[in-house]
A = this chain, B = another copy of it.
Amino acid sequence: MNRVTKNLLYEQVARVGKALASPKRLEMIELLAQGEKTVEVLAREAAIDVKLTSAHLRVLKESRLVQSHREGRFISYRLAGEDVAELWSRLHEVASKYVVELEVALGQLLSGAERLTSETRASLVAKAAHGDIVVLDVRPNDEYRSAHLPHARSIPLAELKRRLAELPRSKEIVAYCRGPFCMMSAEAVGLLRARGFRARKIGDGVAEWAASGLPLERAA
């Protein structure tokens, strides 16, 4: 009985592991870490067929990583807790530390994006609080409202070009988006630099930030 029970327990944990074993589901988890989303929105943002998205969400729901609730005609999904985002963050931390191919790919992708340590995160907050830099959130505005880095300002990537006047040329602009795999902040930096701003990106998203133990801000 001992051994049988034991295997059953590892099986339950493996159910969560299985949920984390698919690239599509991982992308969905990262998107949901930005805030609640409907199936349709999720399918569009991840570029996955709606039916397939629904099927994957079913798996995530069965493993208790996400929860769903109906809102009128739409069904909205969210992560089951903060620690799910943290788990995702740890997973890709371990992955990027040990999987060489990922390192190489990440290196190309991030193209100079800073990997933050707890010290640099703390000094980032301090500089932002003091007004020495501008922390810029380039995700869609609803994701910003759901949660964002301390002192961050929201200008979604799509609106950046026509809202450049809101940004100072005297200060360094530090852009971020959904996490190290997300290209939006890199695009934003490219645009800003072309217009003569001083800008750089960081690899952190809200999940990475929270996983490092620092608090997030939420819109009222």
Contacts and interface: CB of A to CB of B under 8 A. Distances in A.
Given A26-B13, A90-B87, A183-B2, A99 B64 contact: yes
A126 interface: no
A197 interface: no
Given A14-B22, A181-B9, A98 B80 contact: yes
A219 interface: no
A9 B106 contact: yes
A198 interface: no
29 contacts: A2-B183, A5-B105, A5-B109, A6-B27, A7-B23, A9-B105, A9-B106, A9-B181, A10-B23, A11-B23, A12-B102, A12-B105, A13-B26, A13-B91, A13-B92, A13-B99, A13-B102, A16-B91, A16-B94, A17-B20, A17-B21, A17-B91, A65-B94, A81-B98, A83-B90, A83-B93, A83-B97, A87-B90, A87-B94
Interface of A: 2-3, 5-18, 20-27, 47, 63-65, 80-81, 83-84, 86-87, 90-102, 105-106, 108-109, 181, 183
Given A9-B181, A10-B181, A86-B90, 10 more contacts: A7-B27, A8-B105, A10-B27, A13-B26, A13-B92, A20-B21, A64-B100, A83-B90, A87-B94, A90-B90
